[in-house]
Amino acid sequence: MLAMVVEKISGKSFAQFLQENIFRPLGMKNTVAYEKNISTVKSRAMGYRQEGGRFVFSDQSVTSAVLGDGGIYSSVDDLFKWDQALYTEKLVKKETLAAAFSPGVLLDGKTLEYGFGWRLDQYNGHRRVMHTGSTSGFRNVIQHYPDDNFTVIILTNRAEPEVTPLADKLAERFL
């Protein structure tokens, strides 16, 4: 839905909007919003899962490349550029980011540990905003610690194991 709203308001495809307003201004040269038969993904990793003690090709599901909730191919270097932009106003105003990093509130007044696509919590006394992603042969996580200017990014091309525990251990070691 969000991709459709962006397209309606901007008059551009979602991929074009992201390229012009995020990827290009931040120098994210290895990031693309994938569109079948239109986009090229340089140096793309293929996905795998383990089966019977060996790795089996398991690259995509039918919804993997749906733009708006997925379909973004990137690198750790480019995600670092995006992450660092979150400490500035290059992408959004500080007030907008503060709203994104704030808990949602239901009509009954109950607050959620979720805000604008980010799970919100504390980890070992540090405020954390995080997002995970997975599909057939991939597991990924970004843990952003805004008060510490610290982020853990893990991108894998394997369906298992879960990567959040590894990100937690890395954060524990460095924070």
The structure's pTM equals 0.88
pLDDT digits (tens, 9 = 90+) for 14-68: 999 999 999 999 999 999 998 878 888 888 888 888 889 898 888 776 666 677 7
How many domains are contained in the chain? 1
Listed in sequence order, the residues at least 6 apart from 119 whose beta carbon sits closer than 8 Å to its beta carbon are: 113, 129, 130, 131, 132
CATH label of the domain that carries residue 45: 3.40.710.10
**SS3 (DSSP) at 16:** helix
Mean residue pLDDT across the chain? 91
Rounded CA separation 3/82 (Å): 19
CA dihedral sign of residues 140, 84, 23, 114: positive
